[in-house]
Structure 1
């Protein structure tokens, strides 16, 4: 059985940072890179039991597959990651999907560990924490790029219409 590095992506900048780190780990370990995108139908589980589920399921799955393709293209372009790559869009919650995929003790699970404060932290559970608590293999959490915090601050200032002094970005 080949060793694997399993990583989850969503298309966010943080998940692409984790994807690049996972590719580097796969190259160093001479392992396969398994890239997963977890998805759910709108409304979660109960929506899948409605009469419209037969229409929603293929549309949602196709959208998830397209998001996965875009994330891989954005991360690696035509050159690829330099290792054997397997990509899959899997229906389920992100933490459970990743833990289920990284079921062998020789696997390495790589997850992004973005900042989770305020209301968002209360509404959505942390995928990294779930994986750390439940994975049967080592888990590598990747912090967001330092540039991401600066970009987020600029976006917040723009949303609040606070003037931005360009000198603040060079500190």
Structure 2
């Protein structure tokens, strides 16, 4: 394994982040690096609201929920930690882009993030309300950043969700 080489990947549990997690594992294997899956979280309502009305038991519950989400994401992606690949999963409190770029601070690190959802009115509204984590990481990172587009399977899943028969897509 390369001395200190790390592939750091943002994980939220979404299908898009699972795609990025798989790609990050491929990169870590190819680079003989440690895979560092990271789930960043903030208190419900944001840090500002929490500081105004702190509640340590609630904070512990949110931390535990975040740990469970990361464990579930690793379970969905690999059935647990990836076999034969050194891994250091982390759950850190803070905004995703700041946490990821703060952690990926070495020149030989690789930061892997999902590009998120593509297109659609709801996606456009979400994007207007909050800036893209991938864009923020590209802007702030001190190492290489790999932005992973959604898998082609995501469109098939969207079609299923909208009630479109996949046989119609295959015939087109």
TM-score, with length taken from structure 2: 0.89
| 2:34 aligned residue (32, 46, 56) | 32
Unaligned runs of 5+ in 2: none
1:141 equivalent in structure 2: 147
Unaligned runs of 5+ in 1: 159-163
| 2:93 aligned residue (85, 91, 107) | 91
1:161 equivalent in structure 2: none
1:127 equivalent in structure 2: 133
Residue 78 and residue 61 in structure 1: after superposition, are their counterparts in 2 closer, same or farther (change >3 A)?
A: closer
Using the alignment, how far apart are the partners of 1:166 and 1:112 within structure 2?
Answer: 25
CA contact (8 A) 2:74 2:81 kept: no
> What is the CA deviation profile of residues 76-135 of structure 1, one whole-angstrom value per residue up to 9, with x for unaligned ones?
115724311001110011111100110001100000012264211101210110010110
Using the alignment, how far apart are the partners of 1:19 and 1:166 within structure 2?
Answer: 26
CA contact (8 A) 1:47 1:53 kept: no
1:56-95 → structure 2 map (5 Å cutoff): 56-78=58-80, 80-95=82-97
Name the SS of the counterpart of 1:110 in structure 2: strand
Name the SS of the counterpart of 1:141 in structure 2: strand
| 1:151 aligned residue (145, 153, 157) | 157
TM-score, with length taken from structure 1: 0.90
Using the alignment, how far apart are the partners of 2:108 and 2:93 within structure 1?
Answer: 24
Aligned length: 165
Residue 100 and residue 146 in structure 1: after superposition, are their counterparts in 2 closer, same or farther (change >3 A)?
A: same
1:12-31 → structure 2 map (5 Å cutoff): 12-31=14-33
**1:22 offset after TM fit, Å?**
0.3
